[in-house]
Amino acid sequence: MSNLLFDDQPLVILPQLALAIGLNESIVVQQLHYWLKKSENVHDGYKWVYNT
């Protein structure tokens, strides 16, 4: 087995988004989108996430 492969999920970057707003910015937006979809925190009708 190769040591180059990990048992982690890959980070998905949308090329068109990266071209439109920049690579680092698109990573932040994608991660925020991911965590908001998983979040069960709702206050005044808005979903939110936090990290300790």
Domain around 27: 15-46
Q: Distance between CA atoms of 35 and 44, rounded to whole angstroms? A: 18
- pLDDT given at position 1: 53
The whole-number average pLDDT for the span 33-50 is: 91
Q: Environment class of residue 14 by beta-carbon count within 10 Å: exposed (0-12), middle (13-18) or buried (19+)?
A: exposed
User: What does pLDDT average to over the chain?
Assistant: 88
Determine, yes or no, domain membership for 51: no
Q: Which helix (H) or strand (E) holds 28?
A: helix 23-38
In a domain, 22, yes or no: yes
Residue 24 lies in a domain: yes
Q: Is the pLDDT of residue 27 over 90?
A: yes
Strands annotated E in the chain:
42-43, 46-47
Total number of domains in the chain: 1
Please check whether residue 10 lies inside any domain of the structure.
Answer: no
Judge whether 9 lies within some domain. Answer: no
